[in-house]
Amino acid sequence: SGRLDLDGLRIVVTAGGTREPFDPVRFMGNRSSGKQGMAVAAAAAVRGAIVTLIAANIGTDAVPDGIAVIDVSTTLELEKAVQTAAGQADVVIMAAAVADYRPAQVRQGKIKKEATGDRLTVEFVVNPDILAELSAAKHEGQTIIGFAAETEPDPATLLELGRAKIARKGCDFLVVNNVGWKTGFATDDNDVVVLNRAGDIVMEVSGSKLSVADRILDATLTGV
Ligand code: PMT
């Protein structure tokens, strides 16, 4: 956009997908490539923001100079990094795909077929909801933005799910995207609806993840 309209704003962005190990060689993960979150970080930096990127299991070589990068892997690591960074942040943007569950037990050694027979059962426990925690703890003047990944092709139902989610999470804005085998995750383009706390649509936009990132910043941080 060529404007330094976010000059000096301290923004923390999470990107990528958390991994939850259940033995030393295996994890449960998700297909987030980090593209959308990295695009938000890059767009904010170009507009003058002081950006910290918390990167979960993504290559960050393409991240522009000047963005501070903190690498994490599990949800609990991401939680700690975000909570530490959030204290000083004007804005937190949770674009990472965070695992809702982690294995109840992490084995010290590799699970062997000889030991399990022809079926393996892994028990999961619920992870903390980082976005809800941030929203509950947010300080005066801070803006908390979440994303919602829903496998819901029907636009009206997608909107209902988004409204229920922002009410549950308590964040200021929610960027809702439909995801599936071929949409949302790991693509170059995205198609999003941005909701405010009241559940009103403040913006609908589709395009490259970088252009979507800029529009999200417009809608949430500059009131455009
Ligand atoms: O990385 P890409 O390949 O470019 O794909 C982009 C994306 C589809 C991953 C991204 O646009 C996106 O939707 N990110 C959010 C994914 C997600 O975790 O959605 P959710 O509906 O499960 O969670 C809602 C919000 O709560 C998210 O902001 C998430 O970061 C947060 N959350 C979720 C679970 C949890 N335990 N703690 C959280 O803070």
Q: Which of 30, 57, 127, 177 is catalytic?
A: 30
**58's tokens:** 């993504």
ipTM: 0.99
Question: Quick one: average pLDDT of 184-208?
Answer: 96
The yes-or-no verdict on residue 224 having pLDDT over 70 is no
The yes-or-no verdict on residue 1 having pLDDT over 90 is no
Which residues does ligand 1 sit against, CB inside 6 Å?
32-37, 75, 94-98, 100, 127, 129-131, 146-149, 169, 177, 179, 184-186, 209
Q: Which of 202, 212, 152 is nearest to 174 (CA)?
A: 202
**Burial of 2 per CB tally in 10 Å (0-12, 13-18, 19+):** exposed
pLDDT of amino acid 213: 98
pLDDT of amino acid 2: 63
Give the C-alpha distances (Å, rounded to integers) separating 31 from 124, 179, 188: 19, 10, 13
Q: How does strand 10-16 pair with strand 173-178?
A: unpaired
Q: What is the pLDDT of residues 112-145, one digit of tens each?
A: 999 999 999 999 999 999 999 999 999 999 999 9
pLDDT of amino acid 116: 94
Pocket test residue of 54, 126, 147 for ligand 1, highest count of atoms within 8 A of CB: 147
Q: Is 113 annotated as a binding residue?
A: no
- Work out which ligand 1 atom sits closest to the CA atom of 146: 28
Cα–ligand 1 centroid distance for 147 (angstroms): 5
As separate numbers, helices (DSSP H) first and strands (DSSP E) second, the chain gives 6, 12
What's the pTM value of the predicted model, to 2 decimals?
A: 0.97
Q: Tell me if 205 is assigned to some domain.
A: yes
How many structural domains is the chain composed of?
A: 1
Q: Is 209 annotated as a binding residue?
A: no
Q: What is the CATH number of the domain that holds 47?
A: 3.40.50.10300
The yes-or-no verdict on residue 223 having pLDDT over 70 is no
Q: What is d(CA 64, CA 66) in angstroms, rounded to the nearest whole number?
A: 6
Q: Which domain holds residue 110?
A: 10-222
Q: What is the pLDDT of residues 28-64, one digit of tens each?
A: 999 999 999 999 999 999 999 999 999 999 999 989 9
Cα–ligand 1 centroid distance for 116 (angstroms): 33
Type of residue numbered 22: F
Q: Tell me if 61 is assigned to some domain.
A: yes
Q: Tell me if 5 is assigned to some domain.
A: no
Q: What is the pLDDT of residues 81-113, one digit of tens each?
A: 999 999 999 999 999 999 999 999 999 999 999
Active site residue 57: no
* Residue 3's pLDDT band (cuts 50, 70, 90): confident
Q: What is the pLDDT of residues 137-190, one digit of tens each?
A: 999 999 999 999 999 999 999 999 999 999 999 999 999 999 999 999 999 999
Cα–ligand 1 centroid distance for 2 (angstroms): 29
For the beta carbon of residue 170, count every other beta carbon within 10 angstroms.
17
